Amino acid sequence: MELIKTQIPEVVILKPRVFDDARGYFFESYSQRDLNQLMQRDIQFVQDNESRSARGVMRGLHFQRPPFTQAKLVRCVEGAVLDVAVDIRRGSPTYGHHVAVELTADNHLQFFVPRGFAHGFAVLSETAVFQYKCDNYYAPQADGGISLLDPALGIDWRIDPSTAILSEKDTRHPLLEQFESPFIYGEF
């Protein structure tokens, strides 16, 4: 597996080694040992989640408040999504900046979203099946979010936000400038 750095050092893309032949392909989608070696720290995932969404669905930008904060390892196993991580750590030199990557069933890329980042995605294909591993259990009382439509974030979602399909909850998240982050740079 190859680790691809992004403009925010803690956010990385993982590219597996894919073996193709006449029968199809094979790759190791997850190895605890390899991930910890690449990340140079111990990450223990405890929960796997999966969603299926139609074209134009946007989900996010979500996070879990301390002490239930989560790191995520995400991938798209059917279709294509634009996946985004936004730095919401107070005091971070990249606060409010984001990394966006297209994850598809064909490119097999995985995206590591650390604790202290808000996460969301937009579905670019007719449908998409999205899977992610979390290093902490979901706690509904710790749910948080910032608006994925905040123009100050400068995210090109590659779909028209005026026709996007959002949950009612996701339409109520505050803009970044109205948001009091519970995360402090250097805590995680």
What's the pTM?
Answer: 0.93
Task: Measure CA 156 to chain center.
Answer: 15
Q: What average pLDDT score do residues 173-181 get?
A: 95
Residue 10, SS3 per DSSP: coil
d(CA 18, CA 31): 14
Q: What average pLDDT score do residues 145-173 get?
A: 95
Domain limits at 36? 2-184
pLDDT higher at 24 or 65: 65
Give the count of domains, the chain.
1
- Is residue 58 scored above 90 in pLDDT? yes
d(CA 77, CA 188): 29
- Closest Cα to residue 146, out of 73, 95, 80? 95
- Which residue's entry shows tokens 């405890």? 46
- Which residue's entry shows tokens 């690449």? 38
Grade residue 57 by pLDDT with cuts at 50, 70 and 90: very high
Tens of pLDDT, residues 80-127 = 999 999 999 999 999 999 999 999 999 999 999 999 999 999 999 999
Q: What is the pLDDT of residue 108?
A: 95
- Which residue's entry shows tokens 């449908």? 127
Q: What is the pLDDT of residue 75?
A: 97
95-100 long-range CB contacts below 8 Å, 24 or more apart? 95/185, 96/152, 96/153, 96/176, 97/7, 97/8, 98/153, 98/154, 98/155, 99/6, 99/7, 99/8, 99/11, 100/155, 100/156
Give the rounded percent of residues in the chain with a pLDDT score beyond 70: 100
Q: 62, 108, 119, 173: which one is catalytic?
A: 62
CATH of the domain at 29: 2.60.120.10
Q: 98, 108, 119, 132: which one is catalytic?
A: 132
Q: What is the pLDDT of residue 187?
A: 86
Q: What is the pLDDT of residue 173?
A: 96
Q: What is the DSSP letter of 94?
A: T
- For this structure, is 132 an active site residue? yes
